[in-house]
Amino acid sequence: MGRYHPECPDRLDAVSDRLIASGLDQHVAHVEAPAATREQLARVHDEDYIASIEAASPETGLRHLDPDTAMSPHSLEAALHAAGAVVRATDLVLKGDCRTAFCAVRPPGHHAERRRAMGFCLFNNVAVGAAHALAQGLERVAVVDFDVHHGNGTEDIFRADPRVIMTGTFEYPLYPYSGVDPLGPNMHNVPLRAGSGGEQFRAAMTQVCLPALETHRPDIIFVSAGFDAHRDDPLANLQFTESDYAWATREIVRIAEKYAHGRIVASLEGGYELSALGRSAVEHIRALASL
């Protein structure tokens, strides 16, 4: 997205390098992501919107869709593969090839609404995966989003779909300044004030998010795994640590094992302090793998 932009290629290097350094890499099967198809995207995005993103792709240089979100000549391909990764992971989990999957992708997706790109996001990766799971015949899907920013795009897409619940935490007030007033009864998101740390996060999860999952009894759980609520991250003001992400993931695994045959697909969202991102993502992966 341009020099000095926080959503940079080094983010994926930080995750992969830490995975190797931790010794977890030898326990992880690596799968290349295909590009999402037009049909898969159109389950959650309007056809006109998809066409507009394709048309906006520049041959050279950068094209800004808003002050925060830009496309280079390779952004469209990257976004298609990011969404395709969540579809592929969903297929692997549903077939029983693995119980859990983590999609190390960029650009992120949870701010992308049905008809609008924003917040570094072009296509809503987790929403594409969730809609794909429903298309395979699953009846109940849950999305857990613990990114520091509210996943307005996911809420916009599933606001009227009782088959899908969305739950999680976010800092408020903070971009995109939404989430406080739920758009539907299937939305169970908890705003946290600046300075909130692990104690407040765990309380919100225990009192709101986990009970919402228990009530919904999902057939599969998707996680918008943003790590920018970490205390070292420069883009926000929450005070989470790696241990908080590990705890939350273990709780999600517990519920998935209870209702969803252990099926979880997580996809990387935010996280912009590279060391904190790598450490947090690896602890999340460790918990997903029950290692």
Cα 273 from Cα 283, distance rounded (Å)? 16
- Nearest residue to 265 via CA among 274, 256, 275: 256
Which strands, in side-by-side order, build the sheet including 187-192?
100-103, 264-268, 220-225, 141-145, 164-171, 187-192
Q: Which residues are catalytic?
A: 111
- Peptide bond before 176: cis, by omega within 30 degrees of 0? yes
Phi, psi of 186 (to 5 degrees): -90, 10
Q: Which residues contact residue 165 at a Cβ distance below 8 angstroms, ignoring those fewer than 6 apart?
A: 141, 142, 143, 186, 187, 188, 212, 213, 216, 218
CA distances from residue 215 to 46, 137, 184, 212, 255 in whole angstroms, order as listed: 31, 20, 16, 5, 11
What the block records as the tokens of 130 is: 């969730």
Q: Which residues contact residue 135 at a Cβ distance below 8 angstroms, ignoring those fewer than 6 apart?
A: 43
What the block records as the tokens of 19 is: 């995975």
What the block records as the tokens of 128 is: 């594409």
User: Around 73, how many Cα atoms within 13 Å sit in the side-chain half-sphere?
Assistant: 3
